[in-house]
Structure 1
Amino acid sequence: MTTAEIYAEFAAREAHGVSPSYERLALAVARDPEMLALLRALPPAKRQPNLLFAVVRLLGGPVEDPAAFRDYTMGNWPAVEAEMRTRATQTNEAGRCAVLLPVLAALPQPLALLEVGASAGLCLYPDRYAYRYGDRPVGSGEPVLKCEATGVAPPARLPDVVWRAGLDLNPLDVTDPADLAWLDALVWPEHEGRRARLRAAAAVAAAEPPLLVRGDLADDLQGLAAKAPAGATLVVFHTSVLYQVPAPRREAFAEVVRGLPGHWIANETADVLPYAGLPEPPGAALHSVLALDGRPLAWTLPHGQAMTWFA
């Protein structure tokens, strides 16, 4: 897929109906030969729309108007390029816990959670958040994670988590203002609810920091998993992470995780982690597949706002 096609697809399948600002920006970049030439000089993994737009936001640039965005980005390209080369998209969306919860609550308790690509570890606290599935509340407190669930009943209880750890090439610390600013920049412009959710989830993580380990998802997973307490069900999980990992490393990771005790929950797009015999997704928006131990269960939306169960 060309860089122009990546931006056009992002506009149509991810930003459309979700972020008018980013839909406009992505379409404008897709049609701009000069900007596309600058992006093509970057490594393929560094050309993605989310990374470009978040970096411009982090630097204080405009993202509402395509013309102003272009002027700023072109005029400050050395600074933008430097940030894009050193950073990665590390969206830490606590809302994704809402699609993980029905699976986590059904596993043998208590749980030892190990998140791959954990960022700041905000998805390691599914037991500390409150949820609302349609008009059905689960748990109490802040933040409240809302999810439209089709084909599955909300869980009757929260999971019992006795250990939580994360593995990431560059773990983030929510108590570090610079790291929190990057997480905030990754939230899309119109999503004030997500921004408030980030702050509330960051407060939960800051009160009881998880074990976050800098490491590679294949090389270092087994060593970290070995630290999980005996008597707890190990659950290795990841959400919207593997698209940043080259295919051979994905396969190496899958081989390692299949050899571990416990369970494996994946929430990735079907082109990144494919499954045979999937039903059609419920709409044209980009969906991920929620799977347990290699068995697909449901379609999910990127920020955990909806899930359609088909298992």
Structure 2
Amino acid sequence: MTTADWYVDFAERQARDVSPTYERLARAVAGDPELLTLLDTVPEPKRQPNLLFGVVQWLAGPVDDYDRFRAFVTSQWARVAAQLRVRATQTNEIGRSALLLPVLAALPQPLALIEVGASAGLNLYPDKYSYRYGDGVLGQSGPLLDCAATGLTPPAALPQVVWRAGIDLNPLDITAPADRDWLEALIWPEHDHRRDRLRQAAAIAAADPPRLIRGDLVDELPALVAEAPGDATRVVFHTSMLYQVPLPRRRAFLALVGSLPVHWVAVEDPEVIEYADLPAPPGDGRHKNVLALDGKPLAWTEGHGRSLSWFGA
């Protein structure tokens, strides 16, 4: 896939009808040879559309008008490229907790949670949030996470979490203003509700900061699993992060997690974790991830936890 193709795909399958601003930007970048040439000077994973747009927002550049956006990127390219090289899309979207909840709530309680690619660890608090699947609301505190779910009987109770920790190559400190600013810069322009939810979740995490280990997912995971309390159900989970892991380490992680005494919950692109005999995804043309438990696919999910289409047992 060329860089131009990547931006067209992002516009069509992720931003369309979700962020008009990012859809316009992505389509314009895809047709701009000068910007594409600049982007092609950074490593391929760093050309990601929402990483570029997040960096521009973090640098206080404009995203509401393409001409101004383009002028900023070209004139400030050294600064933009430097940030692209050192940053990643650590979105830490807590809406994805609504995708995890039906699986977490159905496992034997209590739980010890380990998140791989944890960013600031905000998805380590699924027991602290409230959820709405259709007409029913579960939970009485924290941000309210809406998820349009089909084929699913919503959970009757929140999970009981007695231990939580995470791993990340570059964990973010939710109590540090600069790290919170980066998380906010990754939120798409029109998504004020996500920004509000992030701030509510940040307050919850700041009151009881998560334990986050800086390091490689393969190197650090066995010791962290061994440290988790043995009288709790140990759960390793990750959401929309494995695409950022180089293929050899990704393969090593998939082999490792299947050998550990844990349940494994994944929400990833089916091109990143391949499953046999997947049913066709809902036919709206949007990008979909697959929710799976212990390698068994259960549902199609949409970005940021907006929807879930259950097909598993």
> Would the TM-score normalized by the shorter structure come out above 0.5?
yes
Aligned to 1:24: 24
Consecutive unaligned residues in structure 1, runs of 5 or more: none
Partner of 1:5: 5
Q: Does 1:291 align with 2:292?
A: yes
Question: Equivalent residue of 1:226, what SS?
Answer: helix
| CA positional deviation for 1:107 | 0.3
TM superposition shift of 1:280: 1.1
SS state at 2:304 partner: coil
Opposite residue 152 of structure 1, the aligned amino acid is L
Distance 1:261 1:109 in 2: 16
Compare 246-255 and 234-243 and name the one that shifted more.
246-255
Q: Distance in 2 between matches of 1:178 and 1:246?
A: 27
Query: Which residue is equivalent to 2:190?
Result: 190
* Paired positions, count: 311
- Matches of 2:169 and 2:225, distance apart in 1: 16
Q: Give 1:97's aligned residue.
A: 97
SS in 1 for 2:68: helix
Deviation of residue 50 (structure 1)? 0.9
Indicate the residue corresponding to 1:262 in structure 2: 262
Whole-angstrom CA distance in 1 between matches of 2:100 and 2:256: 21
RMSD: 0.7
Shift of the alpha carbon at 1:67? 1.1
CA displacement, residues 136-161 of structure 1 (integer Å, 9 cap, x when unaligned): 01011120111111001110000000
CA distance in 1, matches of 2:140, 2:119: 25
Correspondence for 1:173: 173
Q: CA deviation at 1:99?
A: 0.8
Q: Distance in 2 between matches of 1:245 and 1:148?
A: 29
TM-superposed deviation, 1:20: 0.4
C-alpha separation between the residues in 2 aligned to 1:280 and 1:221? Answer: 33
Once the two structures are superposed, residues 274-304 of structure 1 have per-residue CA deviations (whole angstroms, 9 ceiling, x without a partner) of 1111111112111100000000000001111
Separation of aligned partners in 1, 2:278 and 2:34: 40
Output the amino acid matched with 1:111.
L
Q: What is the SS of the residue equivalent to 2:216?
A: coil
Output one character per residue of 1:94-135: Cα deviation in whole Å (capped at 9) or x when no partner: 110001000000001100000000000000000000111111
* Aligned residue identity for 2:298: L
The code of the aligned residue for 2:308 comes to: M
Superposed CA deviations along residues 160-189 of structure 1, whole A, max 9, x for unmatched, are 000000000000011100000000000000
Per-residue deviation at 1:228? 0.3
Question: What TM-score, normalized by structure 2, do the two folds share?
Answer: 0.98
Q: Given residue 121 of structure 2, which amino acid in structure 1 is its aligned partner?
A: G
Aligned to 1:37, what secondary structure does the other structure show?
helix
Displacement of 1:227 after TM fit? 1.1
1:8-157 correspondence to structure 2 within 5 Å: 8-157=8-157
**One-letter code of the match for 1:256?**
L
Alpha-carbon distance in 2 for matches of 1:66, 1:309 = 39
| 1:246 to partner: Cα distance | 1.6
| Aligned counterparts of 2:169 and 2:276: Cα–Cα separation in 1 | 30
Q: Structure 2: how far apart are the matches of 1:37 and 1:305? A: 34
User: Would you say 1:210 and 2:193 are equivalent positions?
Assistant: no
Inter-partner Cα distance in structure 2 for 1:252 and 1:109: 29
Give the match for residue 162 of structure 2: 162
Task: State the shift of 1:45 in Å.
Answer: 1.1
Matched position secondary structure for 2:7: helix
CA distance in 2, matches of 1:281, 1:245: 25
Match of 1:242 in 2: 242
Q: Which residue of 2 aligns with 1:233?
A: 233
Deviation at 1:262, TM superposition (A): 2.0
User: TM-score under structure 1 normalisation?
Assistant: 0.99
Amino acid at match of 2:150: T
**Distance in structure 2 (CA, Å) of the matches to 1:225 and 1:235:** 9
Report the alpha carbon displacement of residue 54 of structure 1 after superposing the two structures with TM. Answer: 0.3
- In structure 2, the residue corresponding to 1:127 is in which secondary structure? helix
Return the offset for 1:225: 1.2
